[in-house]
Structure formats: C-alpha cells, structure tokens
Amino acid sequence: MQHIGKPAPSFRAPALVAGTLTYLDSTQFAGRWMALCFLPYVGIVKPDFLDHQADNLDRIDTTLLIVSSGTRPLHRVWLDHPTTPRTPLLYDPLSRLHWSFGVPPAQIPVRCQTFLIDRAGLLRFHLIHDFTDRGLSALQEIVTLSQSQDAGGVAAMDTIADAREEVMNS
C-alpha cells in the first residue's frame, strides 16, 4: 500500500473508453485530480450512473477512473450492453494495479476502494465506501476540501476527518 503524501504508483492498463478498447497511462491525467476506484464488480453498475458520477467529479476538475476487480474481461461485460459508459473502465488482467495500490485481487471486495491522487501525482486519500450516491457525494466533498486546502484556503483537515467518519459509519 502506498502512503498518503507519497507519489502514487504509475500505471499503463487496457481500458474501455466510450465503447473502444485502448490503453490508458497515468501520465495522461497529469495536472488533474484523479479518483481511481476499484469496484467489486463493474457489471452491476449502470452506465448512466457511472457517467453521472464522472460528470459530477469532472465539474471539480477530477477524473473518475474505474478499475475492474473481477476476473471477467471488461469488453465481455460491457460490449454486450446496449450502452457503454463514457467513463474509462480499466482492466487489470495481471493484478499489477491492484497490488501496487494494496488492493488484494483475490479478495472479493464488498465495498469500493478509491484512491484520490492530486495534480502533482501524490496520493492524497484512500476511501473505502459503497458505490452509491451517498458514498460518492462524500468523495466529492473530500476532493473539494482537499483542493481548497491546496489553494491556500481554510484548513480543511477537521472537515475531511468528519467526512471520513461519516462514510465509515454509513
């Protein structure tokens, strides 16, 4: 597991982006905040819900990337759907991305694990939450507070701790 405040692991992984199979590299997102979300099973999430959440995060200068924690290849899960999400869905066939972030691939996760990476590529936050409106609203609040803290705004650490506690108690 990477430590908060240290550089996040770099990656290059196959991905499904707007219905097209491609590769994504972490350097493509330099200069933007990134929420890297390891989902228990991507196939249970509706494409429009993913895109809605990605749009909400995009409004606060944050890119949402979903990492499949299942063993079934993404293109088989999503290409059969009538609509595919615009949100990038990364596939980690060798579990390298999982291991570099300390997410055991063999474990069947019940909740998401999201890693917040800032514009400089530093790991800022690790949140374990449900992939629901409430869990993602807490993530958006944490991103906003972290960004305001970086911008020299009011110290937000107490509020971030409160948001973390609220998510953990949900």
Give the per-residue pLDDT at 165: 58
Give the per-residue pLDDT at 21: 85
Answer yes or no: is pLDDT of 144 > 60: yes
34 in a structural domain: yes
Give the per-residue pLDDT at 154: 45
50 in a structural domain: yes
84 in a structural domain: yes
Answer yes or no: is pLDDT of 163 > 80: no
75 in a structural domain: yes
Give the per-residue pLDDT at 70: 61
Which of the pair, 102 or 18, is modelled with greater confidence? 102
Give the per-residue pLDDT at 156: 44
| pLDDT (mean) for 66-76 | 67
Closest CA to 119 of 60, 160, 164: 60
87 in a structural domain: yes
pLDDT tens track for 18-64 = 878 899 999 999 899 999 998 876 666 777 888 888 899 999 999 99
Answer yes or no: is pLDDT of 102 > 60: yes
Give the per-residue pLDDT at 121: 93
**CATH code of the domain containing 58:** 3.40.30.10
How many structural domains compose the chain? Answer: 1
Helix, strand, coil percent values for the chain (each to nearest 5): 35, 25, 40
Give the orientation angle of helix 47-58 with respect to helix 133-150, to 10 degrees: 20
Alpha carbon separation from 127 to 57, 72, 120, 143 (Å, rounded): 15, 25, 19, 11
Confidence of residue 124 (pLDDT cuts 50, 70, 90): very high
User: Do 75 and 16 contact (CB within 8 A), yes or no?
Assistant: yes
150 in a structural domain: no
Token pair 């999430």 is found at: 45
User: Do 167 and 129 contact (CB within 8 A), yes or no?
Assistant: yes
Confidence of residue 107 (pLDDT cuts 50, 70, 90): low
- Please, what is the average pLDDT of the chain? 79
- Residues 109, 68, 119, 158, Cα dihedral to 10°: -20
State both tokens at 117. 């990476």
Give the domain extent around 22: 12-129
137 in a structural domain: no
State both tokens at 106. 């063999």
170 in a structural domain: no
| Residue 140 main-chain phi, psi, to 5 deg | -60, -40
